[in-house]
Structure 1
Amino acid sequence: MKSIYSKMLLLLMISSSVYSFAWGLTGHRVIAEIAENHLSGKARREIRKMMGQERLAYWANWPDFIKSDTTGVWKQTSVWHYVNIDPQTDFTSFEKNLKAQAGPSLYSQIKTLSTQIKDEKTSEKDRKIALIFLIHMMGDLSQPMHTGKSEDLGGNKINVTYFGEKTNLHSVWDGKLVDSQKYSYTEYAKLLDIKTKDEVKQIQSGTLENWLYDSHQIANKIYAQTPNDSKLAYDYQYKFNDTMERQLLYGGLRLAKVLNDLF
């Protein structure tokens, strides 16, 4: 029987061709590329030992690719990508609701994966898998609709049209806004990653809870300005493009902070 690790590599190769034009790929790769550019020397060396010569962007979408796996090995990971919280107007209430949630979520799993990576008793194979998930899930954290309402599954049940195409609010934010800019992930990362050292330090400050609340506040604004059956086009891009680009940049810089702290 093939090991889980062997299945992981096989599925990555298959999915890379099948999903080469699927939405969501560019955003995660932008975040991973920005993070790579801000790794400390020690973190870069340790990650290379674990991951080989591939850049972080190479692995950034694998946790989405495995959703197509039919063996059931990865089924339990589907709930790791989001944390649904009804709108909270202050950080104290948000944090209380966040910590009261039962079961695995984006919040709990980022902490669990970080612990696994840090633990020297974790096998080399499991540390690598944990790191791949962490790279991806820190990207999910910065996508506002991954911290959206439970009643509409983070915008998945809010129907909209985007330039005449029927879709949903979650999908617009997962990839359509990003892909509308027509940049490669390396181009986009280079264009966005222009903050000063002091600005980077400020963006990387705070806790995991602070960062999730940051995304949650943006999700609340998106909900308020995108009701069901909205017709979205250039005006929506104009309204939210800066926000989308901010989240890509912040996601990358905060991923770098997490990785530098771990290694």
Structure 2
Amino acid sequence: MRFLLAAALAAVALTVASPAPAYWEYGHQTIARIAMANVSPRTARAVRRILADQALLATPACPAGTPADAAVWADCVKPLKDAAGESRFGFAYSWHFQDVNICRPFDLVPACKDGNCVSAQIERDVALLRAPGTSRHDRVQALAFLLHFVGDLHQPLHAGEKDDQGGNKIAAAYGIYAPSRFNLHSIWDGPLAERAITSGPSLVRRYPAAERRRIATGTVTDWSREAWQVSHDVVYASALGGDPCAPSPARVTLDEATIARLVPVARLEVERGGLRLAKLLDAALG
């Protein structure tokens, strides 16, 4: 049922002009739940205390009172408008991704001009949460953004792309589902992520300390480069017959054999996102 719902949502998403968000609700919520299962008790209490101020966000249609809800808040508020009909959160549109071309040397500088990219905002949110002078409103907003943006960074097409809106311009068949339903981006957001999360043992668990350290090692820049490399080596290579920098066709097909090979990669990205989010939360609040 979850997959059928996701497929229906994808069909709707493709009818609107804006690119699809990174990970649908299930992916973002799973990453938040992995994180909360692996933070310290002190961090967990701090997260709950901060989210108790969700009313300060003034977004009743987009709740953020739990980590799972807050993890999808940044996507939920995108269409909200003020009394004058202007976007309330349009300033944050570019914070969900970073356009780093996979066929050129890795370079965050042009992609993150003026801090307008996902990795820069992750670091900003951690700094806001650590600063004792941050207002209660800014603190709850920073936490909601952080819970979401770490998931965004680990959707590879939000870290590396080919001037194609992160694969949104490439129609893609997913197994038996025709390209009219999906594009390359939405496949990695939804059905592939959901299949990966539900394949094998639950990802939502307390991980051994050594495994947490191994997966969560590095910096936000290191994780950006890694996700960018996954986009090059796996996402585009699998869609374009092995050469990720070959000209992109208007549509591609991910058959069942390809999907089976992609599932462990997508599963690992969700796992990485959850454990790295836990590390950042502990650093900011623990």
TM-score (norm 1): 0.82
Counterpart AA for 2:190: G
Please name the residue that 2:71 is paired with. 60
Among 164, 171, 185, the residue aligned to 1:159: 171
Aligned partner of 2:269 among 230, 247, 250: 247
Separation (CA, whole Å) in 2 of partners of 1:159 and 1:33: 31
Quote the residue 1:173 is aligned against.
188
2:165 is paired with a residue of what secondary structure? coil
After TM superposition, the structure 1 = structure 2 runs for residues 1-263 of structure 1, keeping only pairs within 5 Å, are: 22=9, 24-52=24-52, 54-71=65-82, 72-87=87-102, 93-94=105-106, 97-101=107-111, 102-103=113-114, 104-149=116-161, 151-162=163-174, 163-166=176-179, 167-180=182-195, 183=198, 190-191=202-203, 193=205, 195-221=207-233, 222-227=235-240, 228=249, 229-263=251-285
| 1:33 and 1:189 in contact (8 A); partners too | no
CA contact (8 A) 1:30 1:188 kept: no
Unaligned segments of structure 2, at least 5 residues: 1-5, 11-23, 54-64, 241-248
223-232 vs 208-217, greater mean Cα deviation: 223-232
Please list the CA deviations of residues 77-132 of structure 1 after superposition, one character each: whole Å capped at 9, or x if unmatched: 1110000101267xxx52xx213441311121112222222222211011001100
Q: CA RMSD in A?
A: 2.4
1-structure distance, mates of 2:201, 2:152: 17
- After superposition, give the CA deviation of every residue in 1:124-169 in whole Å (9 maximum; x if it has no partner): 0110011000100000011101012251111111121122332211
* Secondary structure of residue in 1 paired with 2:102: coil
TM-aligned CA distance change 1:116 to 1:189, over 3 Å: farther
**Rounded Cα–Cα distance in structure 2 between residues aligned with 1:121 and 1:194:** 32
Aligned residues: 236
| Deviates further, 214-223 or 53-62 | 53-62
8 Å CA contact 2:155, 2:189 repeated in 1: yes
Query: For the residues of structure 2 that align with 1:234 and 1:182, how far apart are their CA atoms?
Result: 17
In structure 1, C-alpha distance between the alignment counterparts of 2:39 and 2:205, rounded to whole Å: 13
CA distance in structure 1 between the partners assigned to 2:138 and 2:226 by the alignment: 30
Identity %: 29
Please identify, of 158-167 and 210-219, the stretch whose mean Cα deviation from structure 2 is larger. Answer: 158-167
Give, in angstroms, the shift of residue 171 of structure 1: 0.5
Corresponding residue for residue 12 of structure 1: none
Structure 1 unaligned blocks of 5 or more: 1-18
SS of 1:37's partner is: helix
Instruction: Single out whichever of 205-214 and 117-126 deviates more from structure 2.
Output: 117-126
Instruction: Compute the TM-score of the two structures, normalised by the length of structure 2.
Output: 0.76
